[in-house]
């Protein structure tokens, strides 16, 4: 068209296509592609390449489906297998934090959760010096940091015991109780016998305790956790029973241990050790997000020794905002409501409460309200099982 239009007097030339009607590569129907994807197992759609192969399409097609939000990437985590007895115990434990009577709470009618001001959560966690793969936000032309370890499969780590409670105002001390009772490494001092290029002989260093058994755990519980409760606990709440919740790990001591009972009742205190429901890490505030928040801060510093790891983890624990801890207690209440709704199971999707926005608007409460229908159904399940079934 261009070559014939110029001699005919069209100086700019005619660049219109000579083909009439629809022409070119035919488009694809995104709706049909999504229907085709649903016929393929999700296991075969873990990457863009695998997804493209499963429906005989190009990777570009899958990427455009992702960009147009017709297909979305989702992650899943492995959850514990729950027996019927586990589910019943989870329902009973969650119900113990919900008020029996339903009331009007603002715009919501239902059963209020207990604010959980007399619960202490304790748990252990391995903190690694580094992780194999890390992500950095770099400017154009900037080189990524080079990280080297002796072995990527055996990165040094140290176990810590952590105890937390819900933050609140302490009127007697006229200050804020931040809920951070303490974080203690399972490590011990030792004296080096030989010199090295890094330090002379006779230097005091730290090493991991070889075996964290029940005796070691009980020592930490008595000497550190109980002592921290007596030192930091708000005076106004001292007359209440203080529950120390632990999981069902093998080294954990029995609540009926004589040493635990003697120390828990001394000096007028009433501290009681309890187990959280079996196979229920989602009932512990430390596992719900506090540990990951601490480690996220810890990973912002390069660590080369056990002493430095302990120092950085302790600093991260101190520097973490107390509001983060308070939010996790609200998340725990949301988890319990979801557990009641799914009859003790763990196949639930946690709703987004928007805590940051509510906090800015000064509308963030210290408890959530359980839906009345959810409470009644869970309570009926508990009553029925108590009549016909005795959990192990």
- Tell me the pLDDT tens digit for each residue of 194-203: 888 888 898 8
Of 319, 339, 356, which one is at a domain's C-terminal end?
A: 319
- The tokens describing 131, both together, are 């992780």
d(CA 67, CA 64): 5
Please give the average per-residue pLDDT across 11-25, as a whole number: 67
Predicted confidence at residue 24, as pLDDT, reads: 72
- 146 occurs within a structural domain: no
Predicted confidence at residue 391, as pLDDT, reads: 43
Same-domain pairing of 170 and 311 = yes
Tens digit of each residue's pLDDT (9 = 90 or more) over 216-260: 999 999 999 999 999 999 998 888 999 999 999 999 999 999 999
Same-domain pairing of 165 and 93 = no
Read off the pTM: 0.87
- 17 occurs within a structural domain: no
Asked if 322 and 315 count as a contact pair (C-beta separation under 8 A), the reply is no
Considering only CA atoms, which of 115, 111, 370, 91 is closest in space to residue 240?
Answer: 115
Same-domain pairing of 177 and 303 = yes
Annotate 169-208 with three-state secondary structure.
EECCCCEEECCEEEEEECEEEEECCCCCCCCCCCCEEEEE
Q: Which residue has the tokens 């115990």?
A: 89
Domain range for residue 359? 81-114+321-392
Please give the average per-residue pLDDT across 20-40, as a whole number: 83
Cα 46 from chain centroid? Answer: 23
Phi, psi of 136 (to 5 degrees): -130, 145
Query: Is a pLDDT exceeding 70 seen at residue 1?
Result: no
Same-domain pairing of 278 and 367 = no
Same-domain pairing of 205 and 179 = yes
pLDDT mean across residues, the chain? 90
- The tokens describing 336, both together, are 């319990």
H/E stretch holding 20 reads: none
Same-domain pairing of 92 and 225 = no
Considering only CA atoms, which of 365, 113, 166 is closest in space to residue 285?
Answer: 166
């Amino acid at each position: 068209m261009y070559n014939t239009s110029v001699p005919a007097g069209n100086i700019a030339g005619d660049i219109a296509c000579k083909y009439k009607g629809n022409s070119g590569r035919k488009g694809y129907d995104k709706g049909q592609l999504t229907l085709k994807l649903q016929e393929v197992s999700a296991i075969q759609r873990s990457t863009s390449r695998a997804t493209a192969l499963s429906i005989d399409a190009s990777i570009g097609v899958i990427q455009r489906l992702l960009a147009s939000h017709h297909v979305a990437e989702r992650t899943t985590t492995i959850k514990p297998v729950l027996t019927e007895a586990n589910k019943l115990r989870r329902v009973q434990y969650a119900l113990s934090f919900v008020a029996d009577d339903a009331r009007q709470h603002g715009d919501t009618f239902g059963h209020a959760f207990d604010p959980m001001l007399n619960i202490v959560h304790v748990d252990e966690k391995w903190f690694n010096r580094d992780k194999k793969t890390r992500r950095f936000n770099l400017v154009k032309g900037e080189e990524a940091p080079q990280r080297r370890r002796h072995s990527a499969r055996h990165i040094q780590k140290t176990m810590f015991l952590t105890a937390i409670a819900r933050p609140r105002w302490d009127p007697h001390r006229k200050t804020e109780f931040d809920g951070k009772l303490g974080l203690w490494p399972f490590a011990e001092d030792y004296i080096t016998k030989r010199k090295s290029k890094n330090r002379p002989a006779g230097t005091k260093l730290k090493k991991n305790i070889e075996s964290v058994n029940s005796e070691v755990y009980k020592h930490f519980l008595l000497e550190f956790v109980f002592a921290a409760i007596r030192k930091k606990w708000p005076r106004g709440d001292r007359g209440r029973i203080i529950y120390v919740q632990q999981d069902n790990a093998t080294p954990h001591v029995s609540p009926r241990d004589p040493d635990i009972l003697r120390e828990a009742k001394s000096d007028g205190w009433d501290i009681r050790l309890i187990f959280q429901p079996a196979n229920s890490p989602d009932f512990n505030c430390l596992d719900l997000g506090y540990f990951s928040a601490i480690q996220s801060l810890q990973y912002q510093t390069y660590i080369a020794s056990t002493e430095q790891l302990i120092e950085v983890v302790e600093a991260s624990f101190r520097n973490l905002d107390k509001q983060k801890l308070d939010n996790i207690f609200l998340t725990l209440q949301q988890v319990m409501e979801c557990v009641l709704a799914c009859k003790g199971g763990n196949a639930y999707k946690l709703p987004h409460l928007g805590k940051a926005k509510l906090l800015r608007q000064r509308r963030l409460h210290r408890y959530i309200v359980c839906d009345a229908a959810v409470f009644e159904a869970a309570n009926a399940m508990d009553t029925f099982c108590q009549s016909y079934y005795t959990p192990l």
